[in-house]
Amino acid sequence: MTHPRILIQFDSDSHASVFDSVVALDSGVDHLLQYSNIEPTNVRSLVHGAMFTRGPKELQNTAIFIGGSNAALGDSIGEEIKQTFFGPVRVSVMVDGNGANTTAAAAVLCAARHVDLAATKTIVFGGTGPVGMRVARLLVRQGSQVMLTSRDALRAEAACQSIRHRIGSQADGRLSAIGLAKADDLRDALAQATVVFSCGAAGATLITADELTVATQAKVAIDLNAVPPAGIEGVGVMDKAVQRGDRFDYGAIGVGGLKMKIHRESIQSLFTRNDLFLDAEEIFSVGEKIEKFRTA
């Protein structure tokens, strides 16, 4: 009897992501089981199949990856899987719906190359989306003063509440919602920020080159939009620590190399134990180790 490393790919879309599959195989997985159309309501018996097929010592060679374009649905599937496990009868899980966790971790780590996040004010544009909320959450965890923005102040506040609900007192006094209905709001926020993140959906420029001139304190600008137009006008998609004045700029592809490494290392780490649950914070920790190694 052999115990090859098996990754079970649970994807909420009608076709499981090729991207996630190739990264998994490049991470050394022996066999990939692709599942599409996964929802919290149909995942339970599949998880039982992961739990009850191998003995305690070999369970670490089975793991679950949760993907799909809907990050919130991925989170719900992850919660359902947690509920399905009992005691030590479990396998390791990585949650990365829409690539939001690996992307957010990589973006925050790129910023951390240039500034001490715990001593900075950061602003997150498109902060109500799946990546933006995770970027804000990870920044708060790092001790940053985070301004989460949205055109709609109510949505910004709801996103902040969701993060506070998740991480508790760590968010106290560190996370504020900012609506951008008026141009003055935007300018006031930008003027204070040491790091500027743009995490909005494709198709919209969130900060014009003109507006960016207000951000005189900015040491880092990171635009995670991979498709033109740029989220931050003037930041290139290929930028990777491109210096413009006092500021280091990163584009989506510039962040992408680290994101891919984090994704692969996270997959590999799944097979070291049978009880890991890799959400944004744990995936960020994987990235921190990569960064230490890089600078060592």
Q: Which residues bind a second copy (CB under 8 A)?
A: 1-4, 6, 8, 14-15, 17-23, 25-28, 30-35, 37-38, 42, 45-50, 52-54, 62, 69, 256, 260, 264
Nearer to a second copy, 25 or 115 (CB): 25
Q: In the complex, what is the shortest distance from the CB of residue 70 to a second copy, in angstroms, rounded to a whole number?
A: 13
* 3-state secondary structure at position 219: coil
Nearer to a second copy, 6 or 207 (CB): 6
**Residue 215 to residue 110: CA distance in whole angstroms:** 19
**Residue 235 to residue 258: CA distance in whole angstroms:** 18
Q: In the complex, what is the shortest distance from the CB of residue 43 to a second copy, in angstroms, rounded to a whole number?
A: 9
Buried b / exposed e along 179-214 (16+ C-beta atoms within 10 A): bbeeeeebeebbebbbbbbbbbeeeebbbeeebbeb
Nearer to a second copy, 54 or 187 (CB): 54
Q: In the complex, what is the shortest distance from the CB of residue 221 to a second copy, in angstroms, rounded to a whole number?
A: 23
Alpha-carbon torsion 75, 78, 84, 88, what sign? negative
Q: CB neighbours (10 Å) of residue 178?
A: 20
Nearer to a second copy, 61 or 144 (CB): 61
Residue 207, CA distances (Å) to 62, 117, 125, 183, 266 in order: 44, 22, 9, 11, 33
Nearer to a second copy, 44 or 244 (CB): 44
Q: In the complex, what is the shortest distance from the CB of residue 62 to a second copy, in angstroms, rounded to a whole number?
A: 6
Q: In the complex, what is the shortest distance from the CB of residue 163 to a second copy, in angstroms, rounded to a whole number?
A: 28
Nearer to a second copy, 50 or 140 (CB): 50
Nearer to a second copy, 64 or 199 (CB): 64
Q: In the complex, what is the shortest distance from the CB of residue 286 to a second copy, in angstroms, rounded to a whole number?
A: 15
Q: How wide is the angle at C-alpha 143 spanned by C-alphas 232 and 114, nearest 5°?
A: 50
What radius of gyration do the chain's Cα atoms show?
A: 19
**Residue 139 to residue 237: CA distance in whole angstroms:** 22
Residue with tokens 């926020």: 189
Q: In the complex, what is the shortest distance from the CB of residue 119 to a second copy, in angstroms, rounded to a whole number?
A: 35
